[in-house]
Structure 1
Amino acid sequence: MDREELLNATPEDSGSPQKKQESPLVSLEKDLAFYADAIKEVGIEIMVEGISAHPIFIAHQHQVSIGEMILNKEELNTDWSIQASTLEEFVEKGIITKEKKEPFLKVYKRPEDYMCVFVVVPEGANFIYYPYHKSKK
C-alpha cells in the first residue's frame, strides 16, 4: 500500500448519517511535513554515528514499545508522536522477519530523501515512505 492509498483511506462508515470522518492519515501527512527537518536530522545522525544505515520512524497516537521517542505529540500539540528506530531493531523484535529483510531492503528508499515511517493505527500498521521535501509544482 503506498502513501496515496493510505492517505485516501477512510474509516468504515458507522451507518450514522453524520458527516464523514476524516482519515487520521490526513493529520499524519500534516505532522510529517511539520516534523520533516527534525526527523531528517535524527535519521542522518543514526547513519553518521554508525547505528544503522536504515533508520525507521514509528508514527503513532498511542503507546508503542519500539524505538525511542523523538517527537511527543503532547509536548508539541500535534496529532502524532514519532519514535526513532532501525531496521536492525525491527528484525530483532520480529516485526520484520529474517526472511522478509532482503525484500524490505529492495524497496527501502534512499534515507537522505525519504523517511521510512511505520504507521501504527488501531486497525494495524504499515510502512510508508514520505519525502522530506515535497516538490512544489
Structure 2
Amino acid sequence: MDIEELLPQQPEGSKEEQKKQSPLISLEKDLELYSDSVKEVAVAIMSEGISTHPIFVAHQHTVSIGEVILDRKELNTDWTIQASTMDEFVEKGIINPERKALFLKSYKKPEDYMCVFVIVPEGANFIYYPYKK
C-alpha cells in the first residue's frame, strides 16, 4: 500500500485547507526528513540478523510496540518513529499468523522502501514509503 491510498478523498477547498485536514501530509514531510536515519536503522536490523523484515511505527501518541528511534518532541516534528520487526507484529497479534504469508507477499524491498505502520485516531495501516535517492 502506498501513502496515497491512505489519504482521504480530496475535499473541496483550497490546498491550504486540504493540508490542515490530513495528518498524513505532515507524515510525508517527516518521513522525507527521517529517510536517511530510518534506512540506517533498517540496514542495521537486517545486517545484525535481527530481522529481514523491519517495520517502522509512525504515531503521535504512546504505543507499546518497537523502540523509539526518532522522537517528535526531541526533534520538534509531528511524528514519532519506532523500530520493530514483522516477528514482533506477529507475536503481538497485529499481523495474524495465518495472514503472515500474505503480508510477506506484499512486503516491498526493504533496501528501497520503509515499511511504516501508521497509527492515527481513526485506525492504523501499513504504507511503503521510498527512501530518498
Does TM, normalized by the shorter one, top 0.5? yes
Deviations 1:12-53 (A, max 9, x none): 9xxxxxx56330000000000000000000000000000000
2:79 paired residue number: 80
Q: Which residues of structure 2 form unaligned runs of 5+?
A: 12-16
- Which structure has the higher relative contact order (CA within 8 Å, separation 6+)? 2
2:14 paired residue number: none
Distance 1:122 1:10 in 2: 17
User: Residues 56-95 of structure 1 correspond to what in structure 2 (within 5 A)?
Assistant: 56-95=55-94
Q: Which residues of structure 1 form unaligned runs of 5+?
A: 13-18
2:105 matched to 1:106? yes
1:48 paired residue number: 47
Structure 1 runs (4+) greater than 3 angstroms displaced: none
Deviations 1:86-115 (A, max 9, x none): 000000000001111000000000000000
1:11–1:23 Cα contact (<8 Å) kept: no
Letter in 2 for 1:104: F
- When the two structures are aligned, how many residues end up with a matched partner? 128
Of Structure 1 and Structure 2, the greater helix share is in 2
Letter in 2 for 1:31: D
1:15 paired residue number: none
Distance 2:102 2:95 in 1: 10
1:118–1:125 Cα contact (<8 Å) kept: yes
Residue 6 of structure 1 deviates from its aligned partner by: 1.7
Residue 2 of structure 1 deviates from its aligned partner by: 3.2
Distance 1:11 1:66 in 2: 31
Residue 11 of structure 1 deviates from its aligned partner by: 9.6
Deviations 1:50-85 (A, max 9, x none): 000000000000000000000000000000000000
Distance 2:54 2:108 in 1: 11
Q: CA RMSD, aligned part only?
A: 1.8
2:2–2:129 Cα contact (<8 Å) kept: no
